[in-house]
Structure 1
């Protein structure tokens, strides 16, 4: 088993995908800084990870909607002498909506929680990074987005806008930070069978009067691999992007959607 001791910051750590990513990284021996809003859930996750593999797991609660909380988060990293060699950013998701022109206050809230706040957190984490390309020490940042970043979906009107912003920001940061040895890549996910998504799928099956298996088969019929992704599959890709795979990659976006997106 690997004994990789690099520290990785994972935001959204207590969510369905975040937990799978943390478990995968813990298995490889990574030290983790876990960030999310709910401190209780973060502490419980730290305990779970200790049972996966004893290691150094720190929980730091932070609210992406609060600029002061984000600034305090960054200060805590510096005060503790935390050194980050990797960051997994999972900006909060947006609920499905067909409304492409919601009220201004809705836009402001969504931009703060799903773009401005997470970007501020990444900025606050940069002082805790100590890349040294000459010595082969590089920092890998993986921003987890969604296929709405590359393909507009009618029932995800606001996500179509904000997820595109992340791809553009990653490209911009790749130019700005590449010479320092900080790599910025994005991962665009299709539907992934997190506990929350499975519960939503079950509700849709009940509303349609069909079994869960039938509803799942119906929904994945237009996906070449005929399936949705699993959090554990996402975790494997994230682990690779944090490692040597991305040593000559930055500003790149990888699709993890079973082939659903057909654009060139």
Structure 2
């Protein structure tokens, strides 16, 4: 997506969070938003197909970025998420698939994107990377047994990249989400409400009783936070894992 002279890559752009991010970044050009499902050429919003779990797709994606001579000023990386599970020790094959699909593949996408960055910090042009994660990166959650591990891997990688790329003017920060009312998350609440024989609002109130702000986040709120991390707001910020959870996380 292009905002004035800045070009931002948003992965997972058709998902609940990704769509909100795209709307926020392109808010000054509503006519272009109507072409969300179409691939455009030239200046504007360009949509490229990518399967982060498929090596060939990732290679083709990197080649397409180079062929189009796209120079990126920022990346919003939303790696595929592991399904919730209470099993802390899945089999070796399950772990291999999880790391390939949720870490190694997305990291290859990020590497391809970094290759297309050309920041000039002395001239005030910096590149920003925002990795979308979850609060189990900071606080263990029993029903996210495998995600606890994968998200910590991303935190380690983000911190490592922040140190490695800082001198080039490339910033790497992580935004870790708590409960967020994306379409699929709303559907889950509705199902739990139906099973309990109560209304959606009653179930939502029960689930957010332990959140200091008393609510879950909205995709639009996530988008505003992402926009800030891509902006001059973060010019002296890198290597951070920022909680977007209404105060739920208890760790310092």
- TM-score (norm: length of structure 1): 0.89
Which residues of 2 match residues 84-103 of structure 1 at below 5 A?
84-103=72-91
Identify the residue that residue 5 of structure 1 maps to in structure 2: 5
Q: Say which SS state the counterpart of residue 184 (structure 1) adopts.
A: strand
Gap change, CA 1:29 and 1:185, over 3 Å in 2 = farther
Which residues of 2 match residues 13-162 of structure 1 at below 5 A?
13-28=13-28, 45-46=36-37, 56-162=44-150
Contact 1:4–1:28 (Cα < 8 Å) also in 2? no
Contact 1:46–1:57 (Cα < 8 Å) also in 2? no
Which residues of 2 match residues 169-188 of structure 1 at below 5 A?
169-188=157-176
Q: Say which SS state the counterpart of residue 203 (structure 2) adopts.
A: helix
- Report deviation, 1:4: 3.2
RMSD of aligned alpha carbons: 1.9
- TM-score (norm: length of structure 2): 0.93
Q: Say which SS state the counterpart of residue 118 (structure 2) adopts.
A: coil
- Report deviation, 1:236: 0.2
Contact 2:38–2:47 (Cα < 8 Å) also in 1? no
- Report deviation, 1:44: 6.3
Contact 2:8–2:75 (Cα < 8 Å) also in 1? yes
Distance 2:118 2:231 in 1: 16
**Unpaired runs of at least 5, structure 1:** 33-42, 50-54
Contact 2:39–2:46 (Cα < 8 Å) also in 1? no
Contact 1:4–1:29 (Cα < 8 Å) also in 2? no
Contact 2:179–2:217 (Cα < 8 Å) also in 1? yes
Aligned partner of 2:181 among 180, 193, 205: 193
**Unpaired runs of at least 5, structure 2:** none
Runs of 4+ displaced beyond 3 Å:
46-49
Distance 1:134 1:29 in 2: 30
Distance 1:239 1:200 in 2: 27
Gap change, CA 1:219 and 1:247, over 3 Å in 2 = same
Which structure is higher in RCO with an 8 Å CA cutoff and minimum separation 6?
A: 2
1:161-210 Cα offsets, whole Å, 9 max, x none, are 00011111000000111001110000000010001100010000011111
- Report deviation, 1:253: 1.1
1:11-39 Cα offsets, whole Å, 9 max, x none, are 01111000000000011469x9xxxxxxx
Name the count of aligned residue pairs. Answer: 246
- Report deviation, 1:5: 3.1
